[in-house]
Amino acid sequence: MSQTGTANAGMGRLALRDFGGTGLRLLRYSLVRAISIGITVVIAVYLTIIIANMGGQVDQIRKAEIQEQIGLSFMNNPAVRDMTPEERLALQEEMLQIEIERLGLNRPFLLRSFSYLWQGLTLNLGRAEQMSSDTGSRQVRLILLERLPATLLLWGTAQILVFVVAILVALWLSNHYGGILDRLIIALTPLSAAPAWFYGLFLILIFSAILGALPYGGMVAAPPPTDPKAYALSVLRHLILPVAAQFVSGIFILIYNWRTFFLIYSSEDYVEMAKAKGLSGHLVSRRYVLRPTLPYIITNFMLMLISVWMGGIILETVFNWPGLGKLLYQAIHLFDTPVIVGSTVLYAYLLAITVFFLDIIYALVDPRVRVGAESRQP
Amino acid sequence: MNNLRRYVTQLMGYPTAVLGLLMIIALIGVAMYTVITIPYERAIDLWRGHEESWAENPRNAKPKWVNYFRDGQLPETLVMRTQDPQASRIEQDLEGIRLVTATLSFDYHYDDFPSEVILFFTSKAEEQRPFVATTWILPDGRRIETDAQALASQQRVYLGLDNRVKRALGQVPAEIGLFSDQSGQLLKGTYQVEIQGYLFEESSDFDAKLVVYGKVHGWAGTDHMRRDLMVALMWGAPLALAFGLLAALGSTIATFIISAIGAWYGGWVDALIQRITEINLILPVMPVLIMVGTLYSRSIWTMLGVVILLSIFGGGIKTYRSVFLQIKTAPYMDAARAYGASNMRLIFRYMIPRMIPVLIPSFITSIPSFVFLEASLALLGLGDPTLPTWGKLLQDAFSNGAIFKGHYYWILEPAVLLMITGLSFAMVGFALDRIFNPRLRGL
């Protein structure tokens, strides 16, 4: 703690004088984190592939794809037109065997799993069995990436809103604790036990079915407005309910946790000291309470974000939001294994990026990382 | 023991915790009652929906209690049988052919039309099947006749599909036309159904059952397959509790043991556990569960196993590990060792009591998340195909457009039960957290 204190005090000077060193350290820290998260992703994707291939699913995808290619090449090949069907089938079978051997599908699984790993990591998972992208492609990668913006829009809007509101309210409550609002928020904390989709059901029921005020689901009115401004407004209208659902599900526990952090830290001696110096309440909360708690808050938020990513799959299904989660739902019902495996990999990436992003913010706000105190600690 | 009593007394000081406890006790009571009155096999059998078990239930009927909140009474289902004592039965002999005239009558005083009208016939015959014709007599004396037909041993006559009835009623559906006067208004009073059957053999006979399906059924209502939702609502309780409790127990104990091993041995074991935890953080739990559900098995018990496996290296490891490290280096442990305390004594007198404040609240608060996880999987269509759970009800309701058709009870009933389960455990858990972590008590 004392180290943090001195680091905090010397921050202003350090930042000016030693900017190059700090920047370099941050860069090195980011690089180290990126590599270690990268390795974790590789292992996570490898596990995914192993799980998917325990039933031989990935093998089947590959074989079906080769078979289709050979079939296509035969269809357009004038050279085989004169063969009898039996000859053609035999040749096809022979080519299939050659191709299987060429691609190493007859190698032991351990070796093959590494080539699958590479394909998984590059999202190069071949072609979907049933589904296609809006542009008509059967490439799993294109199908997945097409849905990504919708998911990011919904998730990003909701999480930024939750984060900002939770911090502001928590800070305010930590200064006014014991009041009616404070007790109300504590009483409402158990509401966070239910996931966002659950509140989504109620919100749809109230605002769409009974009041008819907001759309049941989807991302934009049908047919989509041609005017960009009207389009944006329509998307906004469709965003209200799913964002509200995430808000209700996430906000109370965060406010409660963070207000508790703030309260614990507001009883530290240096906060009393700052108050005694006659600093304004605002300044005290911002500089002496918020700053040292930020690393904890970010860790706490990160854990919540990870569970929110998973809950988003069902939220999108409930609200018919055309994102990754809805795609996964459709893939389950069509038994489209390449898409299911692909979205699992993509979700692993999204989680990893979330973790990495928060790690960087953590580094920015945690003085121990910023000034390299960590390396000096035992 | 004294400690326990103290904790209980403290817990009673939190009104939300008391409320939560009461709700948990009520849930457990319902769960036990259900398991005793509707055995597991019977529940599965009922939920698979054999025609015979649900034939007398209306489709998509609202629960009975909606009648308390509305002006007009919605009809309940009426069942009349020719075997009933109040049904009349006259037999005439027409030169070897017997003419049986059975009359079923019922009073209709509800304020809305029924949802369906079906006549069920059972008959027996050696060679020549009985021949029946039915006449529907309204309270105002009008008579609507159906086609005459030969009966199979089991036969249903949907009055709405009968050609002569259709001709008589025009465009109006049977359940409305058969119950309205000429201006189309609902007609209350005594209705009669006259069934004339010609029996050609000495041993031949027939019985009829008239079912006038209502618009409300039972305390829970029914779904699109005529199944009484009560079965699923009741069986949902033990299943949700079992899934939530077992998953929470399994993952808490496993996480606890692993973090203990890591903290005790330290070194590379600890480092390895830390790395696995990081990987587990990035492993997308829901898609992996979906993969297991689609590719391997949808059994609720397989899912339970996978859920536990995936949550072993969860966020709890870090918390437990730090507490273990504290205990490991605590002076009182050295002191206890110095006076020659046995390992058993060390574990049960010194370590476990220190761990309980961390373990119990996190165990209780993790139960709702597992309950909702099961519901989430069911909502995605990955629920156990045989078992009636709350999540399955929600999924049925969703995929049959309950929200668009106005069958709100179908969504609200399981949702409210899920909410009660989630809230009760969360309320007790948060209170316990504050009791066991004195730093939070005043806050």
**Interface predicted TM-score (ipTM):** 0.86
Residue A227 shares a structural domain with residue A98: no
Residue A289 shares a structural domain with residue A166: yes
The arithmetic mean of pLDDT across residues B180-203, rounded, is 89
Residue A151 shares a structural domain with residue A113: no
**CB-CB neighbors (< 8 A) of A328 in chain B:** 287, 290
User: Residue A56: left if φ>0, alpha if ψ -120 to 50, beta else—which one?
Assistant: left
Q: How far is CA B239 from the centre of its chain?
A: 9
Token couple for A180:
């009616």
Residue A92 shares a structural domain with residue A162: no
Helix residue ranges, H only, B188-283: 229-265, 267-282
Task: Determine the structural domain holding residue A99 and report its residue range.
Answer: 59-122
- When CB atoms are compared, the residue of A51, A194, A306 closest to B372 is A194
Position B21 confidence tier, pLDDT thresholds 50, 70, 90? very high
Domains of chain B: 2-47+226-440 (1.10.3720.10), 72-213 (2.60.120)
Say how many CB pairs under 8 Å bridge A and B.
150
List the beta strands (DSSP E) in B27-168: 78-81, 88-94, 97-108, 116-124, 131-137, 143-145, 149-150, 154-158
Residue A107 shares a structural domain with residue A232: no
Residue A77 shares a structural domain with residue A111: yes
Number of helices (H) and strands (E) in chain B: give both, helices first: 18, 10
Tell me whether residue A150 is in a domain. Answer: yes
> How many angstroms separate the CA atoms of B408 and B394, rounded?
11
- For the sheet with B205-213, list strands across it: B78-81, B205-213, B116-124, B154-158
Tell me whether residue A37 is in a domain. Answer: no
Tell me whether residue A293 is in a domain. Answer: yes
* SS3 state of residue B173: coil
Please tell me the predicted confidence (pLDDT) of residue B442: 55
Most B CBs within 10 A among A327, A328, A336, hence the mutation to make, goes to: A328
* pLDDT tens sequence across B422-437: 999 999 998 888 888 7
Please tell me the predicted confidence (pLDDT) of residue A24: 81
In the 8-state DSSP scheme, what is residue B71? S
* All residues at 6 or more sequence positions from A77 whose CB lies less than 8 Å from its CB, including other chains: none
* pLDDT tens sequence across B5-18: 887 888 888 888 99
Tell me whether residue A259 is in a domain. Answer: yes
Evaluate whether A53 touches A59 at the Cβ level (below 8 Å): yes
Residue A235 shares a structural domain with residue A264: yes
Residue A238 shares a structural domain with residue A359: yes
Is A193 in contact with B295 (Cβ distance < 8 A)? no
Whether the pLDDT of residue B22 is over 90: the answer is: yes
Residues in chain A with pLDDT < 50?
A: 1-17, 373-378
Residue A149 shares a structural domain with residue A253: yes
* pLDDT tens sequence across B247-294: 999 999 999 888 888 887 888 998 999 889 888 888 888 898 988 888
**CB-CB neighbors (< 8 A) of A318 in chain B:** 379, 398
CA distances in angstroms from B357 to A169, A211, B18, B353, listed in the order given: 29, 46, 19, 8
Tell me whether residue A16 is in a domain. Answer: no
pTM listed for this prediction? 0.86
Residue A292 shares a structural domain with residue A345: yes
Residue A77 shares a structural domain with residue A163: no
**Closest to A343 measured CA to CA, from B283, B287, B310, B376:** B287
- When CB atoms are compared, the residue of B294, B368, B443 closest to A263 is B443
**Closest to A189 measured CA to CA, from A173, A206, A207, A210:** A173
CATH number of the domain bearing residue A368: 1.10.3720.10
Whether the pLDDT of residue B375 is over 90: the answer is: yes
Tell me whether residue A25 is in a domain. Answer: no
- CB contact, 8 Å: B272 with chain A? no
> How many angstroms separate the CA atoms of B126 and B119, rounded?
23
> How many angstroms separate the CA atoms of A190 and B20, rounded?
10
Evaluate whether A355 touches A37 at the Cβ level (below 8 Å): yes
Residue A263 shares a structural domain with residue A233: yes
Tell me whether residue A210 is in a domain. Answer: yes
Evaluate whether B100 touches B83 at the Cβ level (below 8 Å): no
* SS3 state of residue A221: coil
> How many angstroms separate the CA atoms of A370 and A18, rounded?
11
> How many angstroms separate the CA atoms of A314 and B380, rounded?
7
- Burial, B400: exposed, middle or buried (Cβ in 10 Å; 0-12, 13-18, 19+)? middle
**CB-CB neighbors (< 8 A) of A351 in chain B:** 281-284
Tell me whether residue A14 is in a domain. Answer: no
* Top-confidence residue, B186 or A283: B186
| Omega cis (within 30) before B173 | no
> How many angstroms separate the CA atoms of B265 and A221, rounded?
60
As for how many domains chain A has, the answer is 2
